[in-house]
């Protein structure tokens, strides 16, 4: 949820102060949301499941700060790397591309992934780091709930808190006032 929210807010930051702020919509919004989700699915398991392997003991806040920084840096970079692939899928879905053009652009997306990873991804780093702060705080609280001695709290607490904390952030990034979000993230 945080990765998708961060991407949609970072799109708003590309507008200058006096420009009319518009949100990405349609197939592009859907495919970029999927790309941001895939980016988080690459980064989060590597960080959380391999670095935080003792679920019985909650991690130190410094550990979660480091994990949040890693999430905030790597997730926007991966999402940026998927930019050309998203463009190809969007063009195909909107009928602007034929199937042969689609495969050609997908090959281009694979070959140019490192370039887009660096160039397109760095544009989103500020908002990514801001989402990393949310990731660190939410992850720390979920880690504490998961390590609780109370079986109901350790079983259901992380899921309830995840929904209660992540869903409002996602909804506000998608439906909140665009100018406010742009100014907040800039």
Residue with tokens 């090959």: 107
Query: What residue segments make up the domains of the chain, in order of their start?
Result: 2-176
Tens-binned pLDDT, residue by residue, of the chain (186 aa): 888 988 888 888 877 777 778 888 889 889 999 999 999 999 988 777 766 666 677 778 898 999 999 999 999 999 999 999 999 999 999 999 999 999 999 999 999 999 999 998 898 898 899 999 999 999 899 888 988 888 899 889 999 999 999 999 999 988 988 888 888 777
Question: DSSP 3-state assignment of 126?
Answer: helix
Residue with tokens 């990034």: 173
Spatial separation of the C-alpha atoms in residues 48 and 57, rounded to whole Å: 13
Torsion angle (degrees, nearest 10) of CA 147, 151, 156, 157: -40
- Interhelix angle for 83-94 vs 61-81, to 10°? 50
Residues across the chain: 186
The per-residue pLDDT for 54 is 65
Cα 174 to the center of its chain, rounded Å: 13
């Amino acid at each position: 949820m945080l990765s998708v929210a961060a991407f949609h807010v970072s799109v708003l930051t590309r507008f200058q102060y006096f420009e009319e702020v518009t949100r990405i919509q349609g197939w592009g919004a859907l495919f970029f949301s999927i790309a941001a989700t895939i980016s988080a699915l690459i980064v989060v398991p590597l960080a959380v499941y391999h670095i935080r392997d003792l679920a019985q003991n909650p991690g130190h806040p410094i550990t979660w700060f480091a994990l949040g920084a890693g999430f905030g840096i790597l997730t926007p970079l991966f999402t940026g790397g998927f930019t050309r692939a998203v463009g190809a899928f969007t063009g195909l879905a909107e009928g602007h591309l034929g199937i042969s053009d689609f495969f050609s652009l997908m090959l281009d997306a694979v070959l140019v992934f490192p370039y887009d990873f660096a160039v397109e991804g760095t544009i989103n780093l500020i908002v990514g780091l801001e989402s990393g702060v949310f990731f660190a705080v939410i992850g720390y609280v979920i880690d504490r709930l998961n390590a609780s001695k109370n079986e109901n709290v350790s079983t259901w607490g992380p899921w309830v808190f995840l929904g209660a904390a992540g869903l409002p952030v996602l909804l506000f990034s998608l439906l909140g006032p665009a100018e406010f979000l742009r100014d907040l993230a800039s």
